Structure 1
Amino acid sequence: MKRVPFGATSSPFLLSATIQYHLSKAPEEDKKTAVLKTSFYFDDFLGAAHSKDSVLRIYEQANRIMLKAGMTLKKCRQIPLLCKII
């Protein structure tokens, strides 16, 4: 595992490139994976869904991909059910 000092000029680019790399390795069996590729701002996942079940599925898929990269999704806003799970 490589480390980059926090605050280095290249840190935001390297973080984004690392996340995009791991997302590109995820199977694209459905369109949700494609949505994930455009739903990250730095290490924050920004997404929406029509139902709580959809939110949970999207979260589980995004978190599974991030765990493979050695990262976890930790923050949650707006959905108390999901915030309790995280």
Structure 2
Amino acid sequence: MCIVFNASAKSGPNSRSLNESLYTGPKLASKIQTMNLRFRGKSFGLTADISKAFLQIEIALEHRDYCRFLFFKDSSMTEVVAYRFKVVLLRATSSPYLLNQTIQHHLDAQTSSLASQLKTSFYVDNYQRCCDLPTDTISERPSIEKIMVETNMPLAKWTTNTPLLGDFTEMGPQDYLDLDWNTADDT
């Protein structure tokens, strides 16, 4: 069973939702436009997603009381129990900011120049790399994967617009950062 939480729900007309009560951090919407323009500015693109990104971020023990919810104790649905989230709540307004800050924190701990480049290569859990030569993406991928595994945020669902990289990526129609991208013909 997968429980879906609506953090925008209100208990009454004069009450506040969870999303209205959370600190959302700075807006990331302008970053998506910059990333899309940069991504299409070069000939070859490579994208990936952080695997189970929000499940990788634990809520500090002392903050878990602020993240309580009620649910039935068992399938009889007769007794209601209060539970606490251990990880960041997906779809809460603060979640993208928390993920972004977590990624930045872990990449700051890395010493390579590639880790510094990676800091500007994410929008929420989406990674992107663009370059003029496909060999650049081929040669950097193992190092990128190593860095992200060390941060406990491995990348998955690799996608590219060049068949030269096709053995480890998905080809064809994709949805990437609100763009429809057909990687087979790069449109």
TM-score (norm. length: structure 1): 0.76
Q: Which residue of 1 aligns with 2:167?
A: 84
The structure with more radius of gyration: 2
CA distance in 2, matches of 1:53, 1:71: 24
> Does residue 47 of structure 1 match 2:129?
yes
CA distance in 1, matches of 2:108, 2:166: 27
> Does residue 17 of structure 1 match 2:112?
no
Question: Which amino acid in the other structure matches residue 4 of structure 1?
Answer: V
Greater share of strand: 2
**What per-residue deviation string (whole Å, max 9, x for no partner) do you get for residues 44-66 of structure 1?**
11111232331023322222122
Question: Which amino acid in the other structure matches residue 14 of structure 1?
Answer: L
Moved >4 Å (runs of 4+): none
Aligned-pair identity in percent equals 33
Q: CA RMSD in A?
A: 2.1
Question: Which amino acid in the other structure matches residue 67 of structure 1?
Answer: V
Greater share of helix: 1
Quote the offset at 1:83 in angstroms: 4.5
Aligned pairs, number: 84
**What per-residue deviation string (whole Å, max 9, x for no partner) do you get for residues 8-64 of structure 1?**
221101110111111111113x4x332211111111111112323310233222221
Residue from 33, 36, 47 that aligns with 2:115: 33
CA distance in 2, matches of 1:80, 1:74: 18
Gap runs ≥5 in structure 2? 1-56, 59-86, 170-187
TM-score (norm. length: structure 2): 0.39
